[in-house]
A and B are shown apart, each in its own frame.
Chain A
C-alpha cells in the first residue's frame, strides 16, 4: 500500500467517522448536508497462467481485472490494483436543487484522488430531474456504481464486458421516472465529453502514455422494472480521438463509435439471474466487438454464491489475426458481515482465444478476496 493510498484511506475513514454518528446513510430529505461513502479492500493473485514473459511492464502470468482503470494482477498477491475509497457529499440547496461531489482514491492510480462525480441536480417535477456536471458514463448496467462493490455480488462486474477507456463524462443529463401500466420506468438522456490524459486503460495496450477524448457524446437508456424483472436498453454514440503523449501519433482521429447494450435481471425469491449483452461498433476505423455475460446465484441466509459465464469477441476486417477473443468463468461467494459490509471470495478462469497476431495476456486463473463496505 503506497503512502498516498494510505492517506486516501485515512481521509475516507475520517469522513466515515464524521458521517456515521449523524446516521449519514439514512438521513432524511430535510438535512442539508449528507456525507456518505464506500470502500473496497481487494487482494488478488494469479494462480496459474499461460503467459510467462512480461505483458508490457507487467509481470505474468497475469489477469486484467479492471480495463477502465488499468488494474492487472500478477503472480504475487497485490492489494493496490482494485482497492478504493470513495467519499460523497450532497448539499441540499433547496428541496429541489442539490449539489453532489464524489471523490475516489484508487490504489492502482497511485493515488491521486479523482473527482468521479460533481453535479448539480434539479427536480423539475415528479417525473423529470436535470443534472449538470461530471458523472460516470452509463455504458453498462453496472457502470455508474461499478466502484461500489457492496452494491453487487461479484468482487467486480465481469471484465469481459466492463472494459473501455472512458468511464466518466462532463455534460448534462435528464432523467425521467414514471409508472407505465405497472412498469416502473426510468429513462436517461445525456450529452457531454471527456478528455482523459495519460489514460489508465491504454497503459494495458501501449508503452507510451495516451490521451483519449470521447467527444460529441450522446446517449440514452431505458430501464423497465416490474416485479421480478428489470431490463435495460442503451444506445451511445461519440467520436474518439487518441494521441500519444510521446510522438503525437493519432490512433484514431475522430473515429465514430456506436455502443448498443441490453441487460436483463431477474430476482425470484432467493434466486437471481444477471445478464448483459453489448456491442461496440468501431467499424468506422477498425473493429466491432460483441460481449455478453450471464450469471445466476441464490441467497442462503448471509451467504450468496454465484456462477457467471462471459464472452468477448472482436471482428476486424483489416487485421483479422489481431483480434481479441476470450471467454471466462467465475465462481463467487459473498458473505454479509454485519449490517453494511460484505466479504467476498472469487475464482476467475479467463480463456484467451485471441488471434495469433495479438500477443495478449493469455489464459489464466485468478483468486481474489474483497471486503466491501458502505458508510
Chain B
C-alpha cells in the first residue's frame, strides 16, 4: 500500500468523522448562575425523569424539556439513555399511574436559557455554544 493511498484514506476517514460529529448535536446542561451544585449526567437524568425533585444538595429543581429536535434527541440518548419510544413509554407509565409529571416543554435553546436564567432552580439543556447572562453551563 503506497503512502499516498494511506494519506488519502486518512483524509477520507477524517472527513467522515468530522461530518458525523457535525450531525450529532452536543447538548450541554444549563442551570441558574446562582446554582453552584456539581451535577453529573446520572444526577441530571434523575431530575429530568422526575425520580427526584431536588438537586443533590436538596434545593428544589425545576427542569424544562425542549421541543423535539436534534438537541432533544441527543440529550435523550446521551443523558437519559433512552430512545424516543422508551422516553414516551416511561412517561406513559408515570402519567397513567399517578406517578411523576413530565417537565414542561419550551421551544428552542433561547427559551430554555431564558427560563433557566429567570428561575432559581431552573435546569435545561441547550446545544453547545449557546449561552446567556444568568446561567451556568455544566461541562459534560
Interface, chain A (partner B; CB < 8 A):
25-30, 36, 38, 86, 88, 100, 102, 117, 119, 121, 126-127, 131, 135-136, 144-145, 147-148, 150-152, 177-179, 182, 184, 186, 225-227, 267, 299, 302, 336, 339-340, 342, 374
Q: Say yes or no: A339-B89 contact (C-beta < 8 A), given A36-B95, A100-B98.
A: no
Is B76 engaged at the interface, CB distance under 8 Å to the other chain?
no
Q: B41-73: which have CB < 8 Å to A?
A: 42-43, 46, 51-54, 56, 60, 65
User: What separation, in Å, do the CA atoms of A319 and B128 have in the docked complex?
Assistant: 69
Query: CB distance B98 to A131 under 8 Å?
Result: yes
Q: What's the nearest-Cβ distance from chain B to residue A19, in Å?
A: 12
Query: CB distance A135 to B98 under 8 Å?
Result: yes
Query: CB distance A86 to B96 under 8 Å?
Result: yes
Query: CB distance A150 to B88 under 8 Å?
Result: yes
Cross-chain contact of A299 among B83, B92, B102 (Cβ < 8 A): B83
Cross-chain contact of A184 among B46, B84, B97, B101 (Cβ < 8 A): B46
Query: CB distance B42 to A136 under 8 Å?
Result: no
User: What separation, in Å, do the CA atoms of A221 and B42 have in the docked complex?
Assistant: 24
14 intermolecular pairs with C-beta atoms under 8 Å apart: A25-B88, A25-B95, A26-B65, A121-B98, A126-B54, A144-B97, A177-B53, A225-B51, A226-B42, A267-B81, A299-B86, A339-B84, A339-B88, A342-B85
Query: CB distance B52 to A136 under 8 Å?
Result: no
Is B104 engaged at the interface, CB distance under 8 Å to the other chain?
yes
Provide the residues of chain B in CB contact with A267, threshold 8 Å.
Answer: 81
Query: CB distance A148 to B104 under 8 Å?
Result: no
Q: Say yes or no: A179-B96 contact (C-beta < 8 A), given A25-B91, A339-B84.
A: no
Query: CB distance A182 to B42 under 8 Å?
Result: yes
Cross-chain contact of A150 among B81, B83, B89 (Cβ < 8 A): B89
Counting chain B residues whose Cβ lies within 8 A of the other chain, the interface size class is: 20 to 34
Query: CB distance A30 to B104 under 8 Å?
Result: yes
Provide the residues of chain B in CB contact with A117, threshold 8 Å.
Answer: 96, 98
Q: Say yes or no: A38-B96 contact (C-beta < 8 A), given A26-B105, A336-B85.
A: yes
Is B93 engaged at the interface, CB distance under 8 Å to the other chain?
yes
Provide the residues of chain A in CB contact with B84, threshold 8 Å.
Answer: 339
User: What separation, in Å, do the CA atoms of A339 and B103 have in the docked complex?
Assistant: 19
Q: What's the nearest-Cβ distance from chain A to residue B140, in Å?
A: 16
Provide the residues of chain A in CB contact with B81, threshold 8 Å.
Answer: 267
Q: What's the nearest-Cβ distance from chain A to residue B45, in Å?
A: 9
For residue B83, which residue of chain A has the nearest CB? A299
User: What separation, in Å, do the CA atoms of A184 and B99 have in the docked complex?
Assistant: 14
Provide the residues of chain A in CB contact with B86, threshold 8 Å.
Answer: 299
User: What separation, in Å, do the CA atoms of A299 and B81 have in the docked complex?
Assistant: 13
For residue B105, which residue of chain A has the nearest CB? A26
For residue A30, which residue of chain B has the nearest CB? B104
Provide the residues of chain A in CB contact with B51, threshold 8 Å.
Answer: 177, 179, 184, 186, 225
For residue B40, which residue of chain A has the nearest CB? A182
